[in-house]
């Protein structure tokens, strides 16, 4: 009897000992790594979801999941209905819509947190592969996360950033794991169906090959072949080589270049532009300080190329923000002996990691009540006016055409799928003359009534900050009746002719 009793008694004692042993093995380096990833995720998980792009992606993904076919024509807008739509980001839309179907708004926030964590993890690993010790790699990653604040919005670009960071890591470790660069090829296949930044994959491999040839006097054949393979991989998508014309078309579209802030050069007047130029000064200072041990020009090639990309457009800053820390990690690489020094283990480390994990979970908790498709109240969504949405849900009739603030177009077509909008976030889809007319109407330029007549607009949804010039003109026009207004915007309904009364729309105000 003693034998079984002893066995039973010893079983529960072994488990806590094993857990305590595992916790005791958590080292200070693990704390640094966890901190670099968890702090940006913790802070940004509390921020609202931006619907300016996300909403139309969810609508498109929903249609594709229901029809089992990729969308190729526009069905969202009244001004471009039936026009061809090269929906290059179809796979990202499927991913995001699947998260929404599984977990509602909470599912989208969880997906965003996961993608942010992956980006920062790959940046950290790339800094380590470039030669930085854990602590320095963590600080560089934290700096990257700080600069990436504006980029961590849930949209296809965030999935593209994961592909970019993973590729950067594989390239950074190419001299110790040369065969790993082949993984970039399947990553590029995914990337070409997720976001238009897919061209950066062969670019990074090509830059790495040039650097090795410049610095080492020889270029890796594996690296060159993997680069060519990734170039071919960009064609593996429903549109083939046309994705290249799509990416080039966005970068050169005059409407996009003139009206979309992200596609204009960075300036110190914006947060992203200010921290970008500050980072350039810091990087330049570090490089200048190494005058006694100058960095080979070949090693700075990637830095220069991505600096040029960042200077061309604000959205290019995000790629610089991931490349610059990796380059600095190589420039400031530590000796192996120093990397292994002072890395104690103990339960305090486990406690810190546990607190970081608890913080992230706590930030997610505010989204727990929103696991369904119903619109969250409060400030949890950007570019999704709560009061206007509720009022439209009450007064809008199926089939009525909406003239809308461009920033709200994506949300309105998601929330009211039976009502086409005039314009949304897909600047490349409508003809260019539609956009110029849209801006004329929003500015209250003479002839705005005729344009709305030509577009058969029934209801106008105006934002105070986007159509301040049109609002007083529409208020004064007898052809339009104000039916709702609040601090964010106003709703007008077209007044019917005397022979066809409007039905007595009633003004409601929450001001």
Question: DSSP for 28-61?
Answer: HHHHHHHHHHHHHHHHHHTSPEEHHHHHHHHHHH
Find the distance separating the first CA and the last CA of the chain, reported in whole Å: 80
- At 331 the pLDDT is 86
Least confident of 63-67, 256-260, 405-409, 456-460: 256-260
Same domain, 419 and 342: no
How much is the average pLDDT of 266-287?
93
Tell me: pLDDT of 402 over 70.
Answer: yes
Closest CA to 194 of 291, 344, 90, 276: 90
Same domain, 54 and 197: yes
DSSP string, 178-196: GGGGGGHHHHHHHHTTT-G
The residue from 343, 358, 373 where one domain ends is: 358
Same domain, 121 and 239: yes
Tell me: pLDDT of 320 over 90.
Answer: yes
- What is the band of 291 on the pLDDT scale with cuts at 50, 70, 90? low
Q: Please give the share of the chain, as a percent, with pLDDT higher than 70.
A: 90
- At 213 the pLDDT is 87
Same domain, 238 and 192: yes
3-state secondary structure of 82: coil
Q: Please give the share of the chain, as a percent, with pLDDT higher than 90.
A: 80
Answer yes or no: is 372 within a domain: no
Answer yes or no: is 371 within a domain: no
In sequence order, the 6+-apart residues with CB closer than 8 A to the CB of 408 are 383, 384, 385, 388, 461, 463, 489
Answer yes or no: is 310 within a domain: no
Rg over CA atoms, the chain: 27
Averaged pLDDT score across all residues of the chain: 90
Same domain, 347 and 389: no
Tell me: pLDDT of 98 over 70.
Answer: yes
Produce one character per residue of 42-75: b if its CB has 16 or more CB atoms within 10 Å, e if not.
Answer: bbbbebebbbbbbbbbbbbbbbbeeeeebbeebb
Q: Which residue has the higher pLDDT, 482 or 296?
A: 482
Answer yes or no: is 333 within a domain: yes
Q: Which residue has the higher pLDDT, 336 or 413?
A: 413
| Residue 119 in tokens | 């980006």
Answer yes or no: is 301 within a domain: no
Same domain, 48 and 157: yes
For residue 465, the domain's CATH number is 3.40.50
- What is the band of 334 on the pLDDT scale with cuts at 50, 70, 90? low
- What is the band of 21 on the pLDDT scale with cuts at 50, 70, 90? low
Degrees (nearest 5) of the Cα angle 87, 439, 493? 95
- What is the band of 299 on the pLDDT scale with cuts at 50, 70, 90? confident
3-state secondary structure of 265: coil
Same domain, 340 and 463: no
pLDDT digits 0-9 by tens, 174-213:
999 999 999 999 999 999 999 999 999 999 999 999 998 8
Same domain, 453 and 344: no
Q: How many domains does the chain have?
A: 2
pLDDT digits 0-9 by tens, 28-63:
888 999 999 999 999 999 999 999 999 999 999 999
Same domain, 188 and 130: yes
Q: Which residue has the higher pLDDT, 340 or 208?
A: 208
- What is the band of 436 on the pLDDT scale with cuts at 50, 70, 90? very high
Pairing of strands 459-463, 402-404: parallel
Range of the domain at 114: 8-259+329-358
pTM of the complete model: 0.92
How much is the average pLDDT of 91-99?
98
Tell me: pLDDT of 484 over 80.
Answer: yes
Same domain, 341 and 453: no
Question: Distance between CA 91 and CA 33 in Å, rounded?
Answer: 31
How much is the average pLDDT of 264-292?
90
Same domain, 194 and 156: yes
- At 5 the pLDDT is 41
| Residue 337 in tokens | 């002996």
Same domain, 348 and 450: no
Answer yes or no: is 284 within a domain: no
Element (H, E) at 329: helix 317-331
- At 497 the pLDDT is 45
Answer yes or no: is 290 within a domain: no
Q: Which residue has the higher pLDDT, 226 or 346?
A: 226
- At 414 the pLDDT is 98
């Amino acid at each position: 009897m003693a034998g079984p009793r002893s066995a039973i008694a010893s079983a529960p004692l072994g488990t806590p000992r094993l857990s305590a042993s595992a916790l005791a093995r958590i080292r200070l380096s693990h704390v640094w790594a966890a901190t670099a990833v968890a702090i940006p995720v913790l802070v940004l998980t509390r921020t609202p979801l931006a619907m300016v792009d996300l909403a139309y992606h969810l609508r498109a993904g929903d249609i594709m999941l229901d029809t089992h076919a990729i969308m190729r024509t526009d069905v969202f807008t009244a001004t471009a209905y039936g026009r061809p739509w090269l929906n290059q980001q179809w796979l990202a839309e499927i991913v995001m819509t699947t998260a929404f179907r599984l977990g509602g708004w909470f599912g989208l926030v969880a997906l965003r947190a996961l993608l942010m964590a992956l980006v920062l993890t790959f940046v950290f690993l790339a800094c380590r592969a470039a030669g930085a010790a854990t602590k320095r790699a963590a600080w560089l990653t934290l700096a990257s996360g700080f600069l990436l604040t504006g980029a961590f919005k849930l949209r296809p670009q965030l999935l593209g950033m994961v592909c970019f960071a993973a590729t950067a890591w594989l390239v950074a470790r190419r001299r110790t794991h040369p065969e790993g660069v082949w993984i970039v090829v399947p990553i590029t296949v995914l990337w070409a169906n997720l976001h238009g930044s897919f061209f950066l994959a062969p670019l990074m491999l090509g830059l790495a090959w040039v650097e090795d040839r410049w610095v080492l006097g020889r270029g890796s054949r594996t690296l060159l072949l993997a680069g060519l393979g990734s170039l071919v991989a960009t064609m593996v998508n429903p549109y083939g080589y046309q994705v290249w014309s799509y990416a080039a078309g966005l970068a050169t579209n005059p409407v996009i270049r003139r009206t979309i802030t992200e596609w204009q050069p960075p300036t110190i007047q914006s947060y992203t532009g200010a921290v970008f130029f500050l980072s350039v000064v810091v990087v330049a200072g570090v490089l200048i300080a190494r005058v006694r041990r100058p960095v080979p020009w070949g090693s700075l090639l990637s830095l220069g190329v991505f600096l040029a990309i960042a200077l061309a457009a604000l959205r290019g800053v995000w790629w610089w923000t991931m490349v610059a820390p990796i380059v600095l990690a190589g420039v400031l690489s530590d000796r192996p002996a120093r990397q292994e020094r002072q890395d104690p283990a103990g339960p305090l480390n486990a406690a810190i990691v546990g607190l970081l994990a608890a913080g992230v979970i706590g930030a997610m908790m505010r989204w727990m009540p929103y696991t369904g498709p119903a619109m969250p109240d409060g400030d949890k969504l950007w570019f999704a006016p709560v009061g206007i949405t509720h009022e439209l849900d009450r007064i809008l009739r199926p089939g009525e055409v909406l003239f809308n603030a461009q920033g709200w177009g994506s949300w309105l077509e998601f929330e009211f799928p039976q009502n086409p909008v005039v314009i949304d976030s897909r600047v490349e889809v409508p003809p260019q003359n539609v956009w110029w007319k849209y801006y004329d109407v929003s500015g209250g330029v003479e002839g705005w009534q005729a344009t709305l007549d030509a577009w058969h607009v029934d209801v106008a949804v105006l934002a105070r900050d986007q159509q301040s010039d049109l609002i007083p003109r529409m208020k004064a026009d007898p052809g339009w009746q104000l039916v709702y207004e609040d601090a964010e915007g106003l709703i007008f309904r077209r007044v019917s002719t005397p022979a066809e009364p409007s039905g007595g729309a009633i003004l409601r105000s929450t001001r």
